[in-house]
Amino acid sequence: MFFAIMIGFQVGIAANIQNQPHQEMQYMHMKTCLPIEEHSRQILTPFAFNALQNELIVSMQYAALEMSNGSYLVRHFRKIDDEQIHCSCKEFESSGILCRHALRVFIDKNYFQLPDKYFLSRWRRECSLMFYDDHSVLQKDDAWFQEYQSLTETLFTESSITKERSDYIRKELTKKLTRLLNEVREMPESDGAPMDFTLKPTD
């Protein structure tokens, strides 16, 4: 009986050790889309992975230039020019958010900060969008805003757990938002109660 208990105890320990890496990985969230991060997550302990992850994130702020002898010159700098970027997809003109094509150009040109003019006021965190008509004023603390914010936060939290979830949400959300936006644009611009949209800084 004693040996049976010991064998069962050893089997339990072995099963726990085998499950431990999987349980730890659930709390080791990806912060980039780089394959080396995913590979490291499968090998390193949480402490070591977190340290490597921080270095990986900071490495994005450096530019590497290959020298003639095969070595690399790594520099950290900020480059803000007054260049104008125009893309044929017209995404920035339509939504006010830079498209992937423009962002690719900024990345290739070693930009570590986007020019301020590409952060439109309506999308800045220090501005709150206020809607008001003849009868009411809708501010940031209204129920509709809180409900929307809660929904988006929950969606982001759940989708950031794994890369598979993130890829799925990104694909499905893009399709559904595009369809929804097209339907909204087909609606009448006025329903008899025109609303004035203004941007006001938060207190």
Query: pLDDT tens string for the chain (203 positions)?
Result: 544 544 554 545 454 545 555 555 555 788 888 899 999 999 999 989 999 999 998 888 788 888 999 999 887 766 666 678 889 998 898 888 999 999 988 888 878 788 889 998 888 877 644 444 444 444 544 666 777 777 877 877 888 788 888 888 888 888 888 888 888 888 876 655 544 444 444 44
Q: Does one domain contain both 80 and 40?
A: no
Q: Does one domain contain both 87 and 139?
A: no
pLDDT at 17: 46
The pair of three-digit structure tokens given for residue 13, joined into one six-digit string: 């320990």
Residue 3 within a domain: no
Domain count, the chain: 3
Contact partners, residue 145, CB within 8 Å, separation at least 6: 138, 139
Q: Does one domain contain both 99 and 151?
A: no
The DSSP H or E segment spanning 200 is strand 196-201
Q: Does one domain contain both 13 and 46?
A: yes
Per DSSP, helices labelled H in the chain are 2-25, 35-41, 46-59, 91-95, 100-108, 143-159, 163-185
Q: Does one domain contain both 96 and 169?
A: no
Residue from 113, 89, 112, 116 nearest 102 by CA: 89
| Secondary structure class of 82 (helix, strand, coil) | coil
Q: Which residues span the domain enclosing 46?
A: 9-60
- Tallying the residues shown for the chain, one arrives at 203
Residue 1 within a domain: no
Q: Does one domain contain both 108 and 84?
A: yes
Instruction: Please state, in angstroms and rounded to a whole number, the distance separating the CA atoms of residues 53 and 43.
Output: 13
Report the first-to-last Cα separation within the chain, whole angstroms.
72
CB atoms within 10 A of CB 85: 16
